[in-house]
Structures are given as C-alpha cells and as structure tokens.
Structure 1
Amino acid sequence: MKAVVLERFGGPEELRPADVEVPEPGAGQVRVRVRAVGVNPFDAKVRSGAMESAFTTVLPTVLGSEVAGEVDAVGPDVTGAAVGDEVFGFADTGAYAEQALLTTFARKPAALDWERAVALPVAGETADRVLRLLGVTAGETLLVHGAAGAVGTIAVQLAVAAGARVIGTAGPGNQEHVAALGATPTTYGPGLVDRVRELAPSGVDAVFDVAGRGALPDSIELRGGTDRIVTIADPAAGDLGVTFSANSRRDAGRLAELADLAARGELVTAVAGTLPLAEAAEAHRVIDAGHARGKLVLVV
C-alpha cells in the first residue's frame, strides 16, 4: 500500500511517499481503508526530532494518530464492527497511509463527513482531559490560549456548554471565529495581561494553553500563581512550575458522543483545509508556520 514515510528527522521535506506492507489486524483491532487523516502539531514535533528527549521514535516510521475510513478487515474479539462500516478514531499504526489499524474507534454518523469526523479524536480527547484537570465549572472564567485551533475550538465549546465564561486568544483574522464559538475574543502578544484584565476585572479562574507561544508567564501573572494552569504545548512548563498534560485517555464511547453532537450541528469542528495524502509535507509546512485555523486533513 502507499504511505508517507519518515526515514530521518528534519523538515517537512523528509516526508516522502513510499510502498509499505499492509498491516493485519490483531485482537480487538479493525483495519480501515483510509479516507481522511488528521494532521496534528504533535506529528510535526515528532518529524523534526523535537520529541526524542521525551520518547524514542524508531525510523523509518509512518506518522499520524487520527484516521477515518471504511472497515475492510476485522481482528479477533472485535464486537460492534463489521466490514463496510464507516468509522473514525485513533490509529494504532501510522495514519498517513492507505490502510491503518484501530482499537479505539466509533461509528461515523451519516450526517458527518470524513473531514469533520477525523478532526474529533485528538481535539476532543485533549479538550476533555484538560478541562477535567482544570476542574472548570459553571460560572467560572476560563482563558484559552490558541482558541481558534482544532483543540481550542472544541475546548471553547465544551467549556461554554458547561456554563463557563471563556476568553479566547487568537490572531486578528480569527477573532470572529472565536466569538462565534461563544467566547470573548482577544489577540495574543504584548499587552495580553491588560487586555484580559479589562475583559475580566474579577480575574480568571483557570487557563488552558493550547498554543504554546510563551503565554505562560502572563498566565501566571493573571492567576497570581501556577494553580489551575495547564499547557499541552509549551516546553517551558516544567521550569515555570506549570502542569504539562500529554497522556491521552482514549474512550470510544466519548468519541461516539462527540460525533453525534457534531452531526447534529451542536459541536463545530474546525477544518483548516484538505490536501492529498501525497502532499503531507505541505501540510507540515503549514503547521510549522503556526497559523492554521483548525485541523489540516489529508484525504485518500
């Protein structure tokens, strides 16, 4: 089968099309013919070698953890799935390929297209996990850095649905998008502390840093300490005493709930654009530039 393979760490140009063996499903796994692949900033960090200090990636490898497609083979001990089912979820094998294996997955509602479905697993799991860590409740004020991205878009909506007031930072071109999600938008960068204090004179109760653009010192100033600040993107977290969250908790039931919300139009998934699988390198160039609104999706 065709796949996009990383043979050595480096820039986006290191991602190259290649032929690889078709994976065979094991116990609890299904194999899908891939229709859409979610591209995440984490993929770009692995590609560059930036994650090697945290864990080792054996090369060559196929990147990607989000996939949507049609089941074409079912392994032993699989229940609730059959050949021909349209599913989406977390890839056990690399997702940048024509076929992939999944253990944690859910049925794709007919009203949800492939691109919007594949934008849910990582963003939904991450938003759920961090909001739990922060303990955000109704009536509280949450500050989200990077509110226009894939994770930020979901986090804002889930927090607003829980009754929280959300202030979301984003670039000038994404202010209307953040407002449409139910948040109060503001720009990031110099003067952030003053802008947020003007919007929330009583202070912010929690901070979710999705962007990792050096906003943690401002966040600590706004909170008056490091309590209830979580980042998923800033490597300076440890030096500053801020919680860095990275351990995912994959839940097929929750995937199905989020998909139903999205299919009914009650949860917006932000898709920044689509590219053919063979152009994965271009998707990584866009991610490295850091200004995509939502998820980039590779289509097969």
Structure 2
Amino acid sequence: MKKLKIGIIGGSGYTAGELLRLLVNHPNAELDFVFSTTNAGKPLDVAHPDLIGDTTLLFTDKINPEVDVLFLCLGHGRSRAFLEANEFSASTKVIDLGNDFRLLADKEFKGRDFVYGLPELNKQAIINAKNIANPGCFATAIQLALLPLANANVINEAVHVNATTGSTGAGVSPSATTHFSWRDNNFSSYKVFSHQHLGEINQSAKQLQSTHNQPIFFIPNRGNFSRGIYATVYTKFDGTLDDAVELYQEFYKDAAFTVISKTPIALKQVVNTNKCILHVDVKDGMVLVTSLIDNLIKGASGQAIHNMNLMFGLDEKTGLNLKSSAF
C-alpha cells in the first residue's frame, strides 16, 4: 500500500517528540506536516534533538486538510477548539491524544464519532473507526490491570490504586514540580482520589461489567525518574492465584503488547517500548496486580500508532518493535 500521509498538530511536546521518533521509522508512514505556531520554519530537531539526521522536515504554521491521518498532540481541552477552527477532509482519520473525546458524553463532535482507543478493549471498533480518542497514560496502566476482573464480573468491592509516573508525564513546560532540583531525590502525591483519568477507567470497567459501581481509590504519585508508570492495583478476590492468572492469560491471549509475567517485574522492562507488563498475585483474599508501561509510548504515542495500524489494516506491531534497556 502507498504510504500514509501524516499530519501532526502541536509538534513540540514530549508526546509529539515520541510520535515523530516512531513515525520517521514507520515503513508505512510519511510525515506531511508538523504544525507548531511557535516553531514555524525551524527544523524539527530544534525541539527534538534526537531527530537530527533522521528528517529535514520543518515545523509549519499551515495545514494540509487532505492528509490520511491527523494526530492531535495538544493540551487537554484544546483539540475540540482546533477542530472547530479547522476543517479536514471527510476521509482524514483523526487520532486525538488529549482528553477531549474519551468519555461517551463527548465522543461526537462536528459529525465525527470518536472511538475509545484502548486496543485490548475495543479492537474491532478501532479497526472500523474513523476517529480515535487515545486513552490517558495512567488510565491505560490501570485499565489493563482491571479489565480481566471486570470481564469476569468480580469487581465487587472497592479498588485501590497506587501509581507513580515519571516527570515527562507532566509535559515539556517547566513547572514548580518538574524542575530537577525539586524532582530529584523527591516523591509526592497529587490529585488524590480526584484524577481526571478516573472517568475513563470507570467507563471501561462498566463496559465489561455492567453492574460495576464500586469506588476506585486512586493515589497518583510523582516519581524522581523521567519516564514510565508503575501501578499497583488491588481489590478483594475469592479465587486462588491460579484462578487469577488464568483470568489474565485468557483475556490477553491475543493481545499484541500486553503480557503476563510469572515473576515480579520492574519498570525498566517497559521503558522505551509499547508493552504493558502485568504481574498477578493473590494473598489473604486480595488480588494484587502490578502494571507497568512507558507513559510516552504505550501510554500515548505508541498506542496512537497501534490504533493507526489497526485502522488501516496494518500488522499491529508495525513500527513498534521496540526493545527496552534493562540496565
């Protein structure tokens, strides 16, 4: 097939940088334009030094409304305004990496119907979709820990989540809690029990377990590392360890990137990959699931490309055969 012409809106952040790194090496993709009003006319490697020698493309403040795929890498709440102000071809497929269209109440906009793009949950719908709402990073890690339980209708008590993300999860713009002297040798929580990703997590759990009405108590933490999410999720469970492992292995038996480890896991196993690695344990009537992802790849740009591959009939792993660094 001919190469897909790609447009990217909001090209200077961490998420866009990872998207560009993956797309310049994707055999079926061709970058058409990268839109950035602040960097228009400058080489991409001005914002993303790792791209030096990989592309000669310049940032632009103009769009091509006829691209095959449009990736929106804008701040949360800004995708809707951009699509309101700019028209694209009816054949252009939109993948939004923000949170504007993730909830069912927001999925329809200007004739576009957005499908929630978690491949392990909505693969067939993604294959047939014209527009995708890419999941949030914390939401991805936590949902993949919970979906097999919801599918088995066994989330019958409160769910407790403790998850830590790297500094890139806060975006490229410096802030009081991201600069080195604050973040280094430090650890803190934020948005306790009120994180914005809880809406999509509950929505997906209810999609599989219609009776789901249990609270999910989520404590998000800031870690003193650059990238990755380490999440632990636990709730009451009546079965054995073998029962729990079987639930997870069966649910993810056809998943391209989500795997179950029989041994305890560590964050470096997923950094720089599109994998989610899960470890399941059962103790004292509780199931404990550890879920690891790279927040910028599986939690954002890699998952967006996974969705693109599905939408255009490509092998799911195209452009995403990435290896982690174990040391």
TM-score (norm 1): 0.31
TM-score (norm 2): 0.29
- Which of 1 and 2 has higher RCO (CA within 8 Å, sep 6+)? 1
